[in-house]
Amino acid sequence: MAEKEKKEKPKIPRQKMPEQEPKARAKNFNEVPFGYTPELAQLEASRCIQCKKPKCIEGCPVEIDIPAFIKLILEGDFIGSARKLKERNSLPAICGRVCPQEDQCEKVCIVGKKEEPVAVGRLERFAADWEREKGEVFIPEKAPATGKKVAVVGSGPAGLTVAGDLILKGHEVTLFEALHKTGGVLIYGIPEFRLPKDIVQAEVNYLEQLGVKVECNCVIGRIETVDELLKEYDAIFLGLGAGLPQFLNVPGENLCGIYSANEYLTRSNLMKAYLFPQYDTPIARGKNVAVFGAGNVAMDSARTALRLGADTVRIIYRRSRDEMPARIEEIHHAEEEGVQFYLLTAPIKFLGDDNGWVTGVECLRMELGEPDESGRRRPVPIKGSEFQLECDLAVVAIGAGPNPLLPTTTPGLELNKRGYIVGDLETGKTSKPGVWAGGDIVTGSATVILAMGAGRKATNSIHDYLMSK
Amino acid sequence: MYKITYKREMAENTVCHFKVDAPRIARKAKPGQFVVLKANETGERIPLTMGGTDPSNGTIDLIFQVVGKSTALLRTLNVGDAIQDIIGPLGKPTHVEDLGTIVCVGGGTGVAVMYPITKAYKEAGNHVIAIIGARTKDLLILEDEMKAASHDLRVTTDDGSYGHHGFVTDVLKKILDEPKEVKLVVGIGPVPMMKFLCKLTKGYGVKTMVSLNPIMVDATGMCGACRVTVGGKTMFCCVDGPEFDGHEVDYDELVKRQRAYLTEEKASMDRFKEIGR
């Protein structure tokens, strides 16, 4: 037995990315992982067995040729690798950081059947960062001008993808953004320590270099309606995101110090309130912070609170650990940094002081019952289990819905009963001629890569439409 | 960038009037709507109601009182300078219809918000009685404009330095006591004024609309900073308002939420006084 082991080639373990120490990083907003060195990247790339029938490509919503880009890293052609990525994914530096790889490419990786899967996301990030940092961003040739004009509404992942793809096909593209900065959730939602904002800015700069016209401060539905845009543009893509915060609907929720995650993260990320008073936007800095929900946004909020000086940060979630929707890495990072998890716990009311500030939250313990319509076991309250937790800051991160501002000012745009735009999942076509939609505004809150996948499908459909017009 | 084309100091230099080049907003804005602006790269997003628009010249009127760092900073800008970001028009426009006799009540800088609304009600055919008030004569704004925008203008000052000595609610009560039926009262001003005004009109059973000004961030319904309780329900002032049925608003909650950042606002203002930016 011992002899047989000796004969086997020693296996290379999945390579970790060097990262900031938990104690140090919980006090700053710098990015947590430093990324692979070229040596680490090539070592990790050598773990890929270059399957003849790779499963990982199918596992990727935009079907990146994963074995090919990894092979180029192994061969030391890092720039070539980045270009290979960009054939299918215009935002690899972003996706390498925020994709839930464990549910996509890495989930179906053949290597992963016997050992840990190849770290596709970390390799993607490495190649994209290399290209950007070496200043060798490749500007591809555009197709000859078609004379067709497209308006893209919303500059998040879906909108950026559509804008980047359609400009290459020779169409004129204008990207409208309601906020004063482009990037959508990549700018207002995801914190600096997880996705540095200069990376997002670099992607937008790249689109502008390609010739995309960017117009910020344009709330479509107010400054121009979709019908008005249709007079000027041949096609419109709506990538509005899920811009309506959901609240718990429990008593006391309008006390001061209770934020929606959207507000908390927008203040910190978009408005840079973590740099107050150098930046003018204030943000409440709690000592005892309660965060409701257990998705990526909840982890981002909890970790932001730590960095803003909280002593205690608790994630309060009504289901159990198995149902937590966040990426494994985010949960892991949050735990390392000292975020506490109060699972199977649901808030029933907030407590406040005379000035209207939150002082605590009353909760109930839950147990898991029968599976509900989502297939997850339904949390059931345990009678008489009420207890109180102190908190001087609370963040509600239980999801977001469709913002009605544009849909309600656009006649002929069919919505489903939850208020999302009805869009064909294969083409992004809506009920309104000349109008496409994709990303969270169609599917509800999902991931950056799914929004990009939806954008890609819409691009093809819009292009066919424009060329046959 | 949005260029300032006109600047006038009003009310003992505590209120400032800008005309700003924003042709697309000027073309679209209706009475009752507002904008959000961010003066520079490090600035915060603050909501300001438009005191009017000039679509032919492509400008909007911003009338604001210096209440904190952001407005103090704004006031340092001059003709030819630019405001980095202006987003609008936001919020629902005032629902203007011909009702008969209505009373428009503006207090403090609320008069600026009230002015285009008053004008619109008059143009729609209403008989418009306007009441404007301020703490003292020098703080009174837009008297001539309000006179032109209404059929009958009454003026009050808290200290009696001009017009009626007392509050706008005193004058409103007299009007409500007259036999002529008042169909609607619109009240815009400091929260305590709107609260007491609504207490009064509720007693008379006269429908009253108010325009609220809570703290906002994105002002497109995305963050919920501006939530207000109206009729027991949580509303987002930025998209559901800014105008609401005044008899249904929880003013005490509104005041508390408006004061959420007093400490930070003071720190910010002190820093501004020290370093001038």
Q: Which pLDDT score is estimated for A10?
A: 53
Q: Which pLDDT score is estimated for B170?
A: 93
Mutate to test the interface with A, among B25, B37, B60, B223 (most CBs of A within 10 A): B223
**Are residues A358 and A208 in contact, defined by beta-carbon separation less than 8 angstroms?**
no
Q: DSSP characters for B73-120?
A: HHHT--TT-EESEEEEEESPPP-----SEEEEEEETTHHHHHHHHHHH
Nearest to A241 by CA among A414, A416, A406: A406
pLDDT, mean of residues B170-181: 92
Pairing verdict, β B46-54 and B152-157 = unpaired
Q: Please name the member of A188, A216, A280 whose beta carbon is closest to the beta carbon of B42.
A: A280
**Are residues B163 and B132 in contact, defined by beta-carbon separation less than 8 angstroms?**
no
Residues of B in contact with A272 (CB under 8 A): 42
Partner residues linked to B61 by β-bridges: B19, B52
**Cβ of B256 and A355 within 8 Å?**
yes
**Are residues A438 and A237 in contact, defined by beta-carbon separation less than 8 angstroms?**
yes
d(Cα B131, Cα B187) in Å, to the nearest integer? Answer: 9
Q: What is the mean pLDDT of each run of 10 residues along chain A (469 residues)?
A: 46 92 91 94 95 93 93 96 88 88 91 92 95 83 93 96 93 97 95 93 90 96 96 97 93 97 97 95 96 96 96 96 90 95 96 96 94 86 95 96 92 94 94 96 89 91 93
Which parts of chain B are beta strand (E)? Answer: 2-10, 15-21, 34-38, 46-54, 59-65, 82-83, 85-90, 101-107, 127-134, 152-157, 164-165, 184-188, 208-211, 227-230, 233-236, 243-245
Contacts of B236 (CB under 8 A, 6+ apart): B221, B224, B226, B227
d(Cα A455, Cα A184) in Å, to the nearest integer? Answer: 14
Which ipTM was obtained for this model? 0.94
d(Cα A167, Cα A207) in Å, to the nearest integer? Answer: 8
Structure tokens at A141: 């040739």
Q: Which pLDDT score is estimated for A137?
A: 78
A217 touches B at CB < 8 Å: yes
Q: Which pLDDT score is estimated for A3?
A: 45
Q: Which stretches of A233-359 are DSSP H helices?
A: 261-265, 296-307, 328-337
Stretch (H or E) spanning A443: helix A440-443
Residues of B in contact with A281 (CB under 8 A): 44-45, 217
**Are residues A318 and A379 in contact, defined by beta-carbon separation less than 8 angstroms?**
yes
Helix (H, G, I), strand (E, B) or coil at B227: strand
Q: How many C-beta atoms lie closer than 10 Å to residue B168's C-beta?
A: 27
**Cβ of B234 and A253 within 8 Å?**
yes
* Angular region, A436: left φ>0, alpha ψ -120 to 50, beta rest: beta
Q: DSSP characters for A203-269?
A: HHHHHHHHT-EEE-S--BTTTB-HHHHHHH-SEEEE-----EE-----TTTTSBTEEEHHHHHIIII
Contacts of A394 (CB under 8 A, 6+ apart): A257, A258, A259, A286, A289, A290, A291, A292, A350, A358, A361
Residues of A in contact with B227 (CB under 8 A): 254
Q: What is the DSSP letter of A319?
A: S
User: Percent of chain B, pLDDT > 70?
Assistant: 100
A369 touches B at CB < 8 Å: no
Pairing verdict, β A172-176 and A377-381 = unpaired
Structure tokens at A332: 């892991």
Rg (CA), chain A: 23
pLDDT, mean of residues B120-134: 96
Global pTM reads: 0.93
Q: Which pLDDT score is estimated for A4?
A: 45
Res. B132: pLDDT tops 50: yes
Residues of A in contact with B73 (CB under 8 A): 280
**Are residues B102 and B53 in contact, defined by beta-carbon separation less than 8 angstroms?**
no
Residue A417 buriedness (CB in 10 A; 0-12 / 13-18 / 19+): exposed
> Chain A residue closest to B264 (CA)?
A282
B251-258 and B191-204 helices, crossing angle to 10° = 170
Which residue type is seen at B207? Answer: K
Pairing verdict, β B101-107 and A387-390 = unpaired
Partner residues linked to A393 by β-bridges: A289
Q: DSSP characters for A176-188?
A: E-SSSSS-THHHH
CA-to-CA separations, A458 to A154, A230, A401, in angstroms, rounded: 14, 17, 22
Nearest to A445 by CA among A427, A410, A464, A418: A418
Contacts of A367 (CB under 8 A, 6+ apart): A344, A379, A380, A382
Shortest alpha-carbon distance between residue B24 and chain A (Å): 7
pLDDT digits (tens, 9 = 90+) for B137-172: 989 999 999 999 999 999 999 999 999 999 999 999
Residues of A in contact with B45 (CB under 8 A): 180, 271, 281
Q: Which pLDDT score is estimated for A252?
A: 96
Res. B127: pLDDT tops 60: yes
d(Cα A117, Cα B234) in Å, to the nearest integer? Answer: 47
Partner residues linked to A256 by β-bridges: A357
Nearest to B209 by CA among B221, B192, B197, B225: B197
In the Cβ-directed half-sphere of B226, how many Cα atoms lie within 13 Å?
27
Phi, psi of A415 (to 5 degrees): -115, 155
Q: How many C-beta atoms lie closer than 10 Å to residue B9's C-beta?
A: 11
d(Cα A440, Cα B35) in Å, to the nearest integer? Answer: 27
d(Cα A132, Cα A96) in Å, to the nearest integer? Answer: 14
